[in-house]
Structure 1
Amino acid sequence: MIEQQNLPTRQKSPVTVIGLGPMGQAMTRTLLGAGHPVTVWNRTVGRAEGVVADGAVLAATPGEAVEASDLVVLSLTDYQAMYDVLDGATSSLAGRTVVNLSSDTPDRTREAGAWAEGHRADFLAGGAMVPAPMIGTEAAYVYYSGGHEVMERHLATLAELGTPRFLGEDPGLAQMMYQAQLALFLTTLSGLMHATAMLGAAGVPAREALPELLSAADSIGDIMRAGEESPGAALDAGEHPGDLSTVTMMGATSDHIVETSTSLDLDLALPLAVQAHYRRAIRNGHGGDNWTRIIDSIRRPDRPATREERS
């Protein structure tokens, strides 16, 4: 039986990666490992040394990097960095595909799509939903949006980085999903640290507190999926039956968290923000509804209560 490593490997399509932070380096190594020739460029040249040693080619300029491949992947701080890097290379963009995996707002992402189109380049926006060490693993997935045909054309290459999840033609959709996921992620991390600080004030070390808290965090998905009906379907229908955890009950809990945090002299920004969601819902007459009713004041924080809600 012939070992697979002894078989000749057909060279795959070249890819350019611009931006060599931890994510850009991980993507470069993943693409190299999959057999793609990779050209790289980074403002700080020293960051390229490791991936060049692994087989990447360092371009002297952004224009040279763009011209090396039909597929140009950007991993930068934000979308302004795209303009800073590529404004001197716009003549090289025509006919190529720019995949921007940088973080920014959906509106700026749409503006970037129009900018790329103005320079006759195809454009995909994306957001990698795993940390750099997980790029290229089975656990990795990346959201994309933009031209459907463009996505299909580069699907095999982009799949090397992680499972592609295409959301639609609007370039801002992938960025919106990315920001929504990170809103959940960052809020969860802050909540985790706040809870750890609470327990620490009571003498419970973090090494003991964190396993208990993480177990509670893991159970949230099970709680949300409990029952026969999808909570998402009920939210879309504007239905908030108060047969389990009501706004009033959860609001009382949020009050207790604020009081406890105050007594421990902890920062109150997070618990006060949570408390405000429930107090607004109660003020608007929804104390007996399910806790999901707080989404109304999140969507429209300044909307006054209607007469029916006050009655």
Structure 2
Amino acid sequence: MTDNTPQNSLTLLGLGDMGTALARTWLAAGHRPTVWNRTAAKAEVLAAEGAVTAASPAEAVAANRLVVVCLLDDASVGSALDGIDLTGKDIVNLTTGTPAEGRARAAWAEARGARFVDGGIMATPTMIGVPEAGGYVFYSGSRALFDTHRATLEVPAGARFVGEDPGHAALHDVALLSAMYGMFAGVSHAYALTEGEDIAPEDLAPLLSEWLGAMGFFIGNAAERLTSRDFTSGVVSNLAMQVAGSGTLLRTAEEQGVSAELISPYLELMRSRLTADPAAHGGEDTAGAITLLKR
């Protein structure tokens, strides 16, 4: 039986670490979510905390208009919802996926009579329900769905709508995560260089944080240059100089017995930009190298 009362206003499919954190946050806010998980024991734990359990995805979907999906991958979403009547449902997919998967899943849901929003969670499970932790979720797809359920979606974490293209939530998610891993790579290389020296990691840590913070200006600078396509005005440290200096980074890594595999791809990208036309690119900002990455 469908129950769309405020106290039982959503269905949640998937109770991994993230799904469980979402469910508990909604419960704490006064919602009474209907939950389903392939391993029923996880749902039973939440039942003891006030959630309604469903024996199958179909039963869970039938319970509410708003259906939040937080499963392992896109294939799991298709498997869980296969053959279920989605007419009139609002599907919010918080399963990690690619932009293409988000667009395809939106078309799949809409063909079955449902509205669809894809999401990209920029938080760990421990950040869910903790506003001061700064976690949030990117959403894209049906603006009408997002506006209808925004108050509910904002309970676990902040909500940022990034457009009606269903692939844009995943694209924003992966773009930010890619930048994060790039930073992790540089930090890892820095620690490896000093490993075994009389330099304590605890002493290097604040220096790294301070330096990376100071270099954060590159983010906005690169955005402006990519928009204007002007890579030469107001350049402080040009490409030719940085490529010339990159040899020192590589020689130091060799001297320290450290692989340069984490930094050499970016150094090589800068070199490729320069050697393509030294006269044209030598005086540029390094942001011009970004244009080489598009295939």
TM-score when normalising by structure 1: 0.85
Structure 1, unmatched stretches of 5+, are: 1-9, 301-311
Give % identity. 35
1:181 to 176, 180, 186: 176
Equivalent residue for 1:303?
Answer: none
Q: Does the C-alpha gap of structure 1 residues 102 and 203 become closer, same or farther in structure 2, counting only changes over 3 Å?
A: farther
Report the 3-state secondary structure (helix = DSSP H, G, I; strand = E; otherwise coil) of the residue aligned with 1:269.
coil
2:254 to 236, 255, 262: 262
1:1-311 equivalent positions in 2, closer than 5 A: 11-88=6-83, 90-91=84-85, 93-138=86-131, 139-222=134-217, 224=219, 231-241=222-232, 243-285=235-277, 286-300=281-295
Pairwise CA distance, 1:262? 2.7
Q: Does the C-alpha gap of structure 1 residues 263 and 24 become closer, same or farther in structure 2, counting only changes over 3 Å?
A: same
Preserved contact between residue 12 and residue 23 of structure 2 (Cα < 8 Å):
yes
Q: Which moved more, 1:119-128 or 1:185-194?
A: 185-194
Structure 2, unmatched stretches of 5+, are: none
How many Å separate the matches in 2 of 1:177 and 1:53?
Answer: 36
Preserved contact between residue 8 and residue 34 of structure 2 (Cα < 8 Å):
no
Query: What residue identity is the alignment partner of 1:232?
Result: A
Pairwise CA distance, 1:65? 1.3
Q: Which has the higher contact order (CA 8 A, sep 6+)?
A: 2
Preserved contact between residue 52 and residue 58 of structure 1 (Cα < 8 Å):
yes
Pairwise CA distance, 1:222? 4.4
Q: Does the C-alpha gap of structure 1 residues 268 and 67 become closer, same or farther in structure 2, counting only changes over 3 Å?
A: same
How many Å separate the matches in 2 of 1:26 and 1:112?
Answer: 24
Pairwise CA distance, 1:104? 1.4
Runs of 4+ in 1 over 6 A off after TM superposition: none
Q: Which moved more, 1:58-67 or 1:11-20?
A: 11-20
Q: Which moved more, 1:55-64 or 1:244-253?
A: 244-253
How many Å separate the matches in 1 of 2:70 and 2:203?
Answer: 37
How many Å separate the matches in 1 of 2:46 and 2:181?
Answer: 30
Report the 3-state secondary structure (helix = DSSP H, G, I; strand = E; otherwise coil) of the residue aligned with 1:115.
helix
How many Å separate the matches in 1 of 2:264 and 2:222?
Answer: 25
Preserved contact between residue 8 and residue 33 of structure 2 (Cα < 8 Å):
no
Preserved contact between residue 185 and residue 263 of structure 2 (Cα < 8 Å):
no
How many Å separate the matches in 2 of 1:48 and 1:40?
Answer: 6
Query: What residue identity is the alignment partner of 2:33?
Result: V
Report the 3-state secondary structure (helix = DSSP H, G, I; strand = E; otherwise coil) of the residue aligned with 2:249.
helix
How many Å separate the matches in 2 of 1:46 and 1:189?
Answer: 36
TM-score when normalising by structure 2: 0.89
Preserved contact between residue 128 and residue 142 of structure 1 (Cα < 8 Å):
yes
Query: What residue identity is the alignment partner of 2:160?
Result: R
Equivalent residue for 1:309?
Answer: none
Q: Does the C-alpha gap of structure 1 residues 45 and 264 become closer, same or farther in structure 2, counting only changes over 3 Å?
A: farther
How many Å separate the matches in 2 of 1:35 and 1:255?
Answer: 60
Q: Does the C-alpha gap of structure 1 residues 141 and 205 become closer, same or farther in structure 2, counting only changes over 3 Å?
A: same
How many Å separate the matches in 1 of 2:68 and 2:49?
Answer: 18
Q: State the Cα deviation string for residues 155-196 of structure 1 (Å, max 9, x = none).
A: 111111222111111100111111101111122122222211
Pairwise CA distance, 1:133? 1.3
Q: State the Cα deviation string for residues 77-114 of structure 1 (Å, max 9, x = none).
A: 221110122214x22x2111111111111111111011
Q: Does the C-alpha gap of structure 1 residues 44 and 252 become closer, same or farther in structure 2, counting only changes over 3 Å?
A: farther
